[in-house]
Amino acid sequence: MDEASILNAYRRYARNYNRFFGKIFEQGRRQVVRYMNCQPGDRTLDVGIGTGLSLNFYPKDTLVVGIDISPEMLAMAREAIHRSDSRNVCLSLMDAQKLCFPDDTFDKVAAMYVASVVPDPQSMIAEIKRVCKPDGDIFILNHFSNGHLLPKMIEKIFAPFENVIGFRPHFPLDHFIDNAALKVVSLSQVNLFGYWTLIHAKNEEPDSNRIAS
């Protein structure tokens, strides 16, 4: 997966994204925001917010900052915000692997269906940990390879085309959690056949996240 392929893929998807990936992934988005248990005044970051489908579920008194690398996906999110007259949402064109926020900015950070899309998921997680407050909550929702026969066959078929389809079909959960060094609170299965996993993790103390300079 490289950045140019991702930008191309989501440029192509943007107009029809909600039609194809709206309902089918809705349960997961709803569950993430439910688990976030947003309190008035909370600052939340939605990484790879895409067309803004998760925005339907955040309370109006929570500040939501959404970032995405695709201008076309963000343009769709902006249209949605304009239509719903939301005032609690800020959107920004940004790379999840190089977030332009100070350390410890957010109470809660979510990345929905993004981890298997970014070129370097570990950099994304490192950045999420950096901008999330110590002991803040991190939510990663994604499909992960689960070893079941049918999904495994589908992953194998699509693996050579990851640059075209815009996500990595083969994405093992244990590998991801180990590399990301996530302090996992819970794992839940969501969406169709429970084939997607919602990871809720607690952010570690700052010293364990930051590389000494």
Ligand X SMILES: C[S@@+](CC[C@H](N)C(=O)[O-])C[C@H]1O[C@@H](n2cnc3c(N)ncnc32)[C@H](O)[C@@H]1O
Residue 50 near ligand X by CB under 6 A: yes
Residue 115 near ligand X by CB under 6 A: no
| Residue 81: closest CA among 55, 109, 103, 54 | 55
Contacting range for ligand X; rule: CB under 6 A; set: 35-43, 89-97, 191-199, 204-212:
89-97
Q: What is the 3-state secondary structure (H, E, C) of 51-91?
A: CCHHHHHCCCCCEEEEEECCHHHHHHHHHHHHHHCCCCEEE
H/E element, 166? none
Q: What is the spatial distance between Cα 164 and Cα 8, in angstroms, rounded to a whole number? A: 8
Task: Tell me which residue has tokens 């957010």.
Answer: 106
Contacting range for ligand X; rule: CB under 6 A; set: 65-73, 168-176, 192-200, 202-210:
65-73
DSSP-derived letter for residue 36 is H
Contacting range for ligand X; rule: CB under 6 A; set: 79-87, 109-117, 149-157, 187-195:
109-117
Q: Which of residues 14-33 bind ligand X (CB under 6 A)?
A: 21, 25, 29
Residue 35 near ligand X by CB under 6 A: no
Q: Which residue type occupies 51?
A: T
Nearer to ligand X (CB atom), residue 121 or residue 136: 121
Nearer to ligand X (CB atom), residue 109 or residue 112: 112
The alpha helices in the chain, defined as continuous H runs, are: 3-13, 17-21, 26-36, 71-84, 121-131, 149-158, 162-165, 173-180, 206-209
Residues 145-184 vs ligand X: string with x where CB under 6 A? ----------------------------------------
Could you tell me the CA-to-CA distances from 181 to 39, 98, 170, 208 in Å, in that order?
A: 27, 19, 20, 10
Shortest distance, CB of residue 18 to ligand X, whole angstroms? 8
Residue 112 near ligand X by CB under 6 A: yes
Nearer to ligand X (CB atom), residue 20 or residue 193: 20
SS3 state of residue 170 = coil
SS3 state of residue 117 = coil
Shortest distance, CB of residue 109 to ligand X, whole angstroms? 13
Binding site for ligand X (CB under 6 A): 6, 10, 21, 25, 29, 48-50, 53-54, 67-70, 73, 95-97, 112-114, 117-118
